[in-house]
Structure 1
Amino acid sequence: MHGLQGLVARALDVALIVGGATAAAQIRYDDLLRHHTDAAFIAFATALAISLFPVFGIYQSWRGRSMLRLAGQISLAWVVVQACALVLMFSLHRTDLISRLWFAYWTGLTGGALIVSRLTVHAALGRVRQAGLNLRRVAVVGQGAHCQRMVRNIGAAPSSGFRASAAYDICPETGLASLGMPVFDDLTKFARHVRSEGVQELWLTLPLSEERTILKVVQEFRDDLVNIRFMPDVSGLALFDSGMIDLIGVPAINLVASPLSSHALGKKEMFDRVFAAAALLALAPLLMGIAAAVKLSSPGPVIFRQRRKGADGKVFQIYKFRTMHVHSEERGVVSQARRGDSRITRVGAFLRRTSLDELPQFFNVLSGDMSVVGPRPHAIEHDELYRKVVSGYMHRYRVKPGITGWAQVNGFRGETDRIEKMQGRVEHDLYYLRNWSFALDMRIVAATIWRGFRHTNAY
């Protein structure tokens, strides 16, 4: 967003911030003239917004990008602005002049107004683009299914403002001629068409192995004012969604790496610690009662400890209430509990059916070894077995293991006496990693509370 558009966007944001503060004061005080609103605070917040919003990409072009993500970026940027302004006022010893209720109203009203204004502008531009105005013509270079998918995506999102107008098929036998637009198999003719039609975008939808073709195309258009974008086909290589990151100043594509960004991991970590602390405080009487019952049920310790693997394969001690009589096993062998297992105590059977034996793992969450939601950790001996026979098994450990998970709320709990059961559990865990969101975590927590305390597979 440049020039006049950027100036108008900034002016609108200033008006919304000042207007939100005024509206909040009107709601808080009823009579605005009789109550003092700190103009310095509003001025600081406005200046910080103009300075920090570009850092969050608020004034960049969002053509073809997710509006849900834009709303999240605006919310985060505005909260950061308000937090910085508050710290500045605190350092100037002026926080005593600020009404907390007014501040809350202002933050909520302005944040909502900033989001609504962006979504309204985007919707209006979408209507204009669907009507055939404000378009950017796209020429696609590629082959096969990946290229066809990109062209279909362009056609399926007319409000994005992109229109596919030509294609250069580097492998004519793959069938791009059916795309319903001019398709060329000669680079010179393709380049002539791109220039004569005034195409603004050139998208290279090629596999990484086509380095020579990429260089030829870039060389051909090196003197043209056309945006050249590389959208590599890594579907056969990437385990998770392959995002582009900046690594020591160099762009890099994740093929097999942690599917959660550092920002997402930070949010997850914050939720885990707060939730675990609250759960331990709320459940303290229950924990003490269970501990007493376990101690009275049979000789032995109250807490069972076992070595498990955490994020990136780091080994930690997992905590559970002991549910079995104390027994010994051969070195390197861990026998899973089975239905009617004589090793399980009467109290232990109840704890396992209701999953109450897992409650001490909130201490693991609090110490940072586990997460509230994530793939369930298995005994290290089982890891060594299943990593060799179940595809994708070890990728479960790219994030912290959880007390509950997507596999568990979908029925994959208890004994894995067949490889198919473990394969199903792993497939659900990998689905969770590919589709993680805070909302999905909340859904899993709610499902665990609603139906997770009793399960026919838990014994």
Structure 2
Amino acid sequence: MSRKTQGLTERYPAQLIIPLVDILAVLLGGILAYEWRFDSYQLDERYVLTITAISLFTVLINSLLGAYSRWRVTRVSTLVARLMMVWMIVGLLVTSLIFFTHSADRFSRLWVGTSLILSFVMAGGTRVLAQLILRKARLKGMARRSVFLVGPESQLLKVAKGMRAFPEEGYSIAGVERLGSDIHEETLSLLASRVSASEAREVWICVPLEMGYVVRAIFYTLRNHTAEVRFIPDFQDMHLLNHRISEVAGHFSIDLSVTSISGMARFVKRAEDLILGSLIGLLVLPACILIALAIKCTSSGPVLFKQYRTGDKGKPVKVYKFRSMEVHEENSGVVTQATQNDPRVTKLGAFLRRTSLDELPQFYNVIQGRMSIVGPRPHALAHNEYYKDLVESYMRRHKVKPGITGWAQVNGLRGETDTLDKMERRVEHDLWYIDNWSVWLDLRIIALTIFKGFINPHAY
């Protein structure tokens, strides 16, 4: 498998690129239709506004209908048919908007129809071409997604046969763990080690319904892994109604541990971080300069404190904070949390910690793409090693980028986590946020942070 190609398709998936393609198709279609109708490329202002409206409607309706997702398993004919429905809805909205604003006499109906047809042809043609290129690449062994299979041999053979029958979906087997009728602790421990060694992006638990009891044990065993976990049972002739399932390699998949912030949602959240992060960064820049000068004048050492924390998909990222302690050394792998009246904390540092001003440099991490404005707070690497075996699903909070503020923080779960119960409650809130993410939830958390999240008397 080509790691270079895999990296490109994972970093720039089709569901992120295609919305930009749709906008470009609408723009080009509108310009070409205008030149054909009026023999000019200099668009009148009202036509520019109409093209903008068509672009927004197109992206919005495609997103609402889920047309930017499930690219690996959606047929080309389905993609084009879905796109045609979207364009018909967009055409209806645009013509209705023109009619109800009493602007029909100011627009060429021929231009509206021609621009919609041209943009549909370009957007649809791009989809067909992209699917053909991606499927051809996967058939050649590129842009593939590695999968670790777990289950009885008979079930694994069925799933492997399905993967071979659908090579264009781009899945490859990174490892196999055959299960017997009895599952022992040694088997589960070996499974966790083999999954880590395989570096698989997904783990498929392939067991018949009568072995459903082992799913819980396997899921718990993989709690410290950030690979996506799917349950692929053998439903035989059962008919399921209104269940959230996926279809991969010709098999039903019940998603057990898949983040909701993916595909188009990931693109939207990144845009949110860039826009808000840049604006807030500019607003707090004078305060950052004053704090940096104050730190330099009141204690010796660097202005910024840099520390590696666990980031998106469990990868370490360097996080910046204003230094709030005297410069000191700790034993390797040991991170001592600040406590009340901690002698290491400077007087200025205590103020910065209580007001959360020490975290302002993390807006630079947001612009870098290492963090988000809203997300689970990043913990020290040593804390992750300590808590991952004590708190179930602890490492699953790392399926998204860490945040400057989060759902746990605005609900009072800030500061020292000196008991296991406090950490469990924080993780519970982090996982709820990941499962229920939306732009509106992010804006709500930011608003709550502004009104009640900065000052924390328990932040030592």
2:96 matched residue in structure 1: 19
Equivalences for residues 92-241 of structure 1 within 5 A: 214-215=235-236, 217=237, 229=240
Instruction: Give 1:401 shift.
Output: 0.5
Gaps of 5+ in 2: 1-83, 126-207, 213-231
Query: Relative to 1, partners in 2 of residues 1:413 and 1:46: Cα closer, same or farther, differing over 3 Å?
Result: same
Paired residue secondary structure (2:256): coil
1:43 matched residue in structure 2: 113
Does residue 246 of structure 2 align to residue 244 of structure 1? yes
Instruction: Give 1:322 shift.
Output: 0.4
Partners of 1:9 and 1:262 in 2: CA distance: 19
Q: One-letter code of the match for 1:378?
A: H
Query: Relative to 1, partners in 2 of residues 1:10 and 1:449: Cα closer, same or farther, differing over 3 Å?
Result: closer
1:367 matched residue in structure 2: 368
TM-score (norm 1): 0.54
1:448 matched residue in structure 2: 449
1:190 matched residue in structure 2: none
Instruction: Give 1:325 shift.
Output: 0.8
Partners of 1:8 and 1:212 in 2: CA distance: 34
Partners of 1:441 and 1:11 in 2: CA distance: 32
Paired residue secondary structure (1:458): coil
Q: One-letter code of the match for 1:454?
A: I
1:317-349 CA-to-partner distances (Å, cap 9, x unmatched) read 100000011111111111101111111111111
Aligned residue pairs total 278
Instruction: Give 1:209 shift.
Output: 5.4
Instruction: Give 1:307 shift.
Output: 0.7
Instruction: Give 1:37 shift.
Output: 2.9
Compare relative contact order (CA 8 Å, sep 6+) and give the higher one, 1 or 2.
Answer: 2
Q: One-letter code of the match for 2:112?
A: I
Partners of 1:46 and 1:358 in 2: CA distance: 48
Q: One-letter code of the match for 2:96?
A: G
Instruction: Give 1:245 shift.
Output: 5.6
Query: Relative to 1, partners in 2 of residues 1:51 and 1:342: Cα closer, same or farther, differing over 3 Å?
Result: same
1:332 matched residue in structure 2: 333
Partners of 2:233 and 2:270 in 1: CA distance: 44
Partners of 1:395 and 1:11 in 2: CA distance: 41
TM-score (norm 2): 0.54
Partners of 1:345 and 1:9 in 2: CA distance: 59
The structure that has the greater radius of gyration is: 1
Instruction: Give 1:253 shift.
Output: 3.4
1:416 matched residue in structure 2: 417
Partners of 1:8 and 1:402 in 2: CA distance: 38
Paired residue secondary structure (1:351): helix
C-alpha contact 1:316 1:369 (8 A) present in aligned 2:
yes
C-alpha contact 2:307 2:318 (8 A) present in aligned 1:
yes
Paired residue secondary structure (1:254): strand
Instruction: Give 1:392 shift.
Output: 1.1
Q: One-letter code of the match for 1:292?
A: L
Question: What RMSD, in angstroms, separates the aligned Cα atoms of the two structures?
Answer: 3.5
Instruction: Give 1:390 shift.
Output: 0.9
C-alpha contact 1:10 1:50 (8 A) present in aligned 2:
yes
Partners of 1:318 and 1:12 in 2: CA distance: 45
1:256-282 CA-to-partner distances (Å, cap 9, x unmatched) read 232323121111111011111111112
2:229 matched residue in structure 1: none
Partners of 1:400 and 1:20 in 2: CA distance: 40
C-alpha contact 2:309 2:379 (8 A) present in aligned 1:
yes
Instruction: Give 1:286 shift.
Output: 1.1
1:321 matched residue in structure 2: 322
1:75-94 CA-to-partner distances (Å, cap 9, x unmatched) read xxxxxxxxxxxxxxxxxxxx
1:173-193 CA-to-partner distances (Å, cap 9, x unmatched) read xxxxxxxxxxxxxxxxxxxxx
Partners of 1:356 and 1:338 in 2: CA distance: 18
Paired residue secondary structure (1:295): helix
